[in-house]
Each structure stands twice: as structure tokens, then as C-alpha cells.
Amino acid sequence: MPDPSAEQLQALLDLAGTDAAIRRLQNTMDNLPEQQQLADLGERRRALEDQHADIRLERDQVTQVARKHDRDVGQLRERLAHEQQRMYGGDITNAKELGKMEAEISAVQSRIDEHELAELEALETLEEHEEALDALEQELATLSETIRETEERRDVAASGLLAEIAEHEVVRERQRDDLDDELVARYDRSAQRSVGDAVGRLDGEDCTACGIRLSYADVNTLVDGPPLTTCPNCGRLLVVL
């Protein structure tokens, strides 16, 4: 392939300039204060949602515990009623037998008391969880509103930048169309490999892409070589005009 013309090389540098301008605008957009705020707000929302999920899980567990105690109390009450009916029914007259039943009734009663107390404690915990969930839901709703408002402000701030980017993209398409396909392909390969400029220019002894001052030996080799080569330091395309 013959060496690209000086015109083509300039066009290549112009394309790199347009891409750099687009990157700068994109970077400005990514760093909009509203964008930063949205990142923070999103993080806060995730933390609240995690907290909400944890408390909901605990609430469900406590609900199960309260129900279990409630069922136990019900069963024990039935048993108590049955025992009391037997005791006061008049069928049992034996004093020893009656004493045993009395002890049994009293034992059932204290188990009922224990379960009732435990159920009450569970219900109190449940109420605390419900209150915490309500507060979190309230906070999440407020946060969602703040996020929505911030997104609106971000969109307003970004719209000017997006318009500028769109203009540069039109220019970029034209610049790419004006370049030989082979050059565009080399440019794209270099762009994929590198951060920042895909093509630099030899400016005195410096590569403008990496900003490094090259050795005299390298510079001499470059000057004697083809007008489009790669930088011995950064490996990016290098225009030597």
C-alpha cells in the first residue's frame, strides 16, 4: 500500500481531534454534579431497600412466632377447660386424684401464661418492625421523588452537551467518509487498543498522543521512515509529517 497523502494524514489527525472533543464532552456529562448526586442517591436507595428487605424478613419470622404461641395458647386453653370440667364435674372424689389434677391444671395455666407473654413480646416486636417498615417506605418514597427531580435537572444540563456531541458526531462521520477505508481500519484498531488519542503526531521529538519525548535515535528512524507509523513508546499510530 502506498504511503497516505499529507492530506489524508491531516484528515486522520482531524478525526482524532473530533473524537477527543467527543470524549471530553462525554466526560463532562459523566461528571455533571447531578450525575454524581444520582450515583449517591442510587446507592442510598439500594441501602434502604436492603434494610427494608431484612426487616420484612424478620417481621415475617416474628409473625410466625406469634402465630405459633397463639395456637399453643388455644390448645392449652382447650386442655385446661377439659381438665377443669373433669375436676369440677364431680366424677372424681379421691383426694389424691384431685390433688394431682389441681397440680396439672396449675401447670397448664402457667404454660398458658408463658405462651401469652411470649406472644405479647412477639407482637410488640412485630409492631416495632411494622413502624420501621413504614418509616423506610416513607423515606424511599421521598428519595424516589428526589431522584426523579435530580434526573430532570441532569437531563436539562445534559441536553446542551448531547446537542454538542451530536454535532461532533456528524463531523466525525464526514471525516471518516473522507478517509481511505484502510486508514479508518488502522485508526479503529489503534483506538480499541488505546485510551485517549488513537493517533499522535511527531511534534519535534515528542509524540503528541503519549506526550513522551523520544530519543534522537528513534526520532531519526521515524523521520527517515514512512509518514504514518507507530510511536515506539505508546504504540499508537504516529503521523510524521
Q: How far apart are CA 90 and CA 100, in angstroms?
A: 15
Q: In 3D, which of 19, 7, 10, 11 has the Cα closest to residue 197? A: 19
Q: Specify the amino acid at residue 136.
A: L
Give, as ranges, the residues between 208 and 227 that touch Zn ion (CB under 5 A).
209-210
The answer to whether residue 234 forms part of the interface with Zn ion (CB under 5 A) is yes
Closest contact distance (angstroms) between CB of 47 and Zn ion is: 44
Comparing CB distances to Zn ion, the nearer of 150 and 233 is 233
Q: How far apart are CA 228 and CA 96, in angstroms?
A: 113
Q: In 3D, which of 109, 122, 106, 128 has the Cα closest to residue 70? A: 122
Comparing CB distances to Zn ion, the nearer of 125 and 196 is 196
Report the residue from 16, 126, 207, 240 that binds Zn ion according to the rule CB under 5 A: 207
Only one residue has cell 499510530, namely 237
Q: How far apart are CA 198 and CA 186, in angstroms?
A: 9
Closest contact distance (angstroms) between CB of 186 and Zn ion is: 15
Q: For Zn ion, how many residues bind (rule: CB under 5 A)?
A: 6
Comparing CB distances to Zn ion, the nearer of 183 and 214 is 214
Closest contact distance (angstroms) between CB of 207 and Zn ion is: 3
The answer to whether residue 237 forms part of the interface with Zn ion (CB under 5 A) is no
Comparing CB distances to Zn ion, the nearer of 76 and 214 is 214
Alpha helices (runs of H) in the chain, residue ranges in sequence order: 6-30, 33-88, 95-178, 181-193, 216-224
Comparing CB distances to Zn ion, the nearer of 178 and 218 is 218
Comparing CB distances to Zn ion, the nearer of 165 and 207 is 207
199 SS3 class: strand
Report the residue from 198, 233, 237, 240 that binds Zn ion according to the rule CB under 5 A: 233
148 is written with which cell numbers?
Answer: 426523579
Closest contact distance (angstroms) between CB of 235 and Zn ion is: 7
Contact 207, 200 (CB under 8 A): yes
Q: Specify the amino acid at residue 217.
A: A
Report the residue from 231, 237, 239, 240 that binds Zn ion according to the rule CB under 5 A: 231
User: DSSP secondary-structure letter at 239?
Assistant: E
Binding mask 148-187 for Zn ion (x = CB under 5 A): ----------------------------------------
Give, as ranges, the residues between 10 and 69 that touch Zn ion (CB under 5 A).
none
Only one residue has cell 395458647, namely 73
Contacts to Zn ion by CB under 5 A = 207, 209-210, 231, 233-234
